[in-house]
Structure 1
Amino acid sequence: MRLSVFGDIHGNLPAFEAALKDIRSQSPDALLCLGDVAAMGAWPRECIGLLASLNCPCVLGNADEDMLRPQPFEARGFPDEREIYDLDEWGREQLTDAELEHLRGYQATVELPGLLAFHGSPQSCRESIGATTPEDRLEELRSAFGLHPLWVGGHTHAPLLRTLGGWRLLNPGSVGLAYEKRGERYVNISCAEYLLLDGDDVQFRRVGYDVKAVQAGILERKMPHAEGWAGEWVAEG
């Protein structure tokens, strides 16, 4: 089966539309979304609606969960945490009951033949697993959640292919919030990332989109901290 896997859209409609255009050009048999669909972007409602129109399975991301079960702000010592909280709250306030009902339909994990999909880890949408996760933690998770030969997760926004004893862990990166370090700071780059799986073949695909459209959407829709947030976006390359 030829499968397209994408996630971490984060309310970025220009990125989502660009990714879907490229996905359709590859003629996959099925689509799979890894969650974090709406939060932090200027188009939360539109991204939920576009995903719903695809009629594909979607796992529940931590940002999706926060929209369903909002919590009061609590300082934890992370960079820009107040700004991120305000962006998430703004996105939640845009949603109707119908869109929240779509979020409630997202699943903790999705199983396909030979494949287990999740957002952070099979145990928690908030756990990060990736290139530096200790092998004993990965084996602990595999023992608890099944010995599928292929695991696919999101959350870190970092493309990954990690192989352990014939078992593979993949991450497609992020559709709507791909990032890179430039100088002393991290920036969001206008590049939508996703995976195309065809048997044992794995393709990491990257698609450019109009960074000015994202910046304009942030400003026109008067998101919190709009000037600063728009300034975090840069053109790829």
Structure 2
Amino acid sequence: MFGDIHGNLPALRAALADMRAQGAEAFVCLGDVAMDGAWPRECVAEVAALGCPVVRGNADREMLEAPRPFTPRGLPDEREGWEIGNWGREQLTDGDRDVLRTYRPTVSLPDLLCFHGSPERDNEELAAGTPEDRLEELRATHGQQAAWVGGHTHKPLLRTLDGWTLLNPGSVGLPFERRSGGYVNLARAEYLLIDRAGGGWQVTFRAVPYDVEEVRRGLLASGMPHAAWAAGDWVAE
């Protein structure tokens, strides 16, 4: 299980190579494939080549929508992010957009439900602090599978509830953490291995380091707006 690639091809390739080395036999992508990185088209193609189910994330949906006017929300660096998102949208061809249209709101496998934000909304955050009442409300509508796996928060999660487990693999291409009063992006590709074991699920979280300079070089060579600003946010482990 992997997702939140956000146009980061070196991270995606590092994650996929590690999955194969770990003996992964099947893949599910949890969405947010292309937006915000230097390689939007390449990431769409790399995921498509897997032939696996892909969930539609909020960023995938936004890539198919007309650009919205910039509306300040009082967040740091929001105009830069908005302009980079628009640039990524413009890189896609009609064929790339056709691929994004094949992404699904949810992917249901035997005793396993996969989504992006939540089964109801692609931008809802299900996290360690989400009230159990909200989770049970979602389960009453969307299914009683023993494991639910979502993305969107970019934070790994294993939360055990009454008879089921809520999981998040973290982010392949844009894991972040707060340092010195700001945020940095870490050159580690996060994903999740999940296997059947003893009638339940065995879960392994993976975080694969890769060359941060390859990401920085790609951003600076991409032609995206604010490339130097974006490259400055990346750090090694």
- TM-score, reference length from structure 2: 0.96
Q: CA deviation at 1:166?
A: 1.9
SS at match of 2:189: strand
Deviations 1:10-32 (A, max 9, x none): 00000000001001111222100
Map of 1:187 onto structure 2:
184
Map of 1:47 onto structure 2:
43
SS at match of 2:61: helix
Map of 2:76 onto structure 1:
79
SS at match of 1:186: strand
Residue identity opposite 2:205 in structure 1: F
Equivalents in 2 of 1:79, 1:184: separation in Å? 12
Map of 1:217 onto structure 2:
218
Residue identity opposite 1:219 in structure 2: L
1:98-177 to structure 2, matched below 5 A, reads 98-177=95-174
Match of 2:30 among 34, 41, 44: 34
Residue identity opposite 2:74 in structure 1: G
Deviations 1:26-58 (A, max 9, x none): 122210000000000000000000000000000
| Farther-moved stretch of structure 1 (188-197 vs 21-30) | 21-30
Equivalents in 1 of 2:73, 2:143: separation in Å? 34
Q: CA deviation at 1:72?
A: 2.4
Q: CA deviation at 1:75?
A: 2.0
Q: CA deviation at 1:207?
A: 0.4
Aligned length: 232
Q: Tell me whether 1:19 sits opposite 2:42 in the alignment.
A: no
Equivalents in 2 of 1:73, 1:191: separation in Å? 31
SS at match of 2:20: helix
Q: CA deviation at 1:73?
A: 2.1
Equivalents in 1 of 2:49, 2:83: separation in Å? 28
Map of 2:227 onto structure 1:
226
SS at match of 1:30: coil
Q: CA deviation at 1:77?
A: 2.5
Deviations 1:195-236 (A, max 9, x none): 000122100001011100100111111211111110000011
Equivalents in 1 of 2:75, 2:105: separation in Å? 26
SS at match of 1:121: coil
Equivalents in 1 of 2:156, 2:169: separation in Å? 5
Gaps of 5+ in 1: none
Residue identity opposite 2:214 in structure 1: A
**Percentage of pairs with the same residue:** 60
Equivalents in 2 of 1:67, 1:31: separation in Å? 23
Map of 1:6 onto structure 2:
2
Gaps of 5+ in 2: none
Residue identity opposite 1:156 in structure 2: T
Residue identity opposite 1:94 in structure 2: Q
Residue identity opposite 2:151 in structure 1: G
Match of 1:88 among 85, 88, 91: 85
Equivalents in 2 of 1:80, 1:137: separation in Å? 32
Q: CA deviation at 1:76?
A: 2.3
Q: CA deviation at 1:6?
A: 0.1
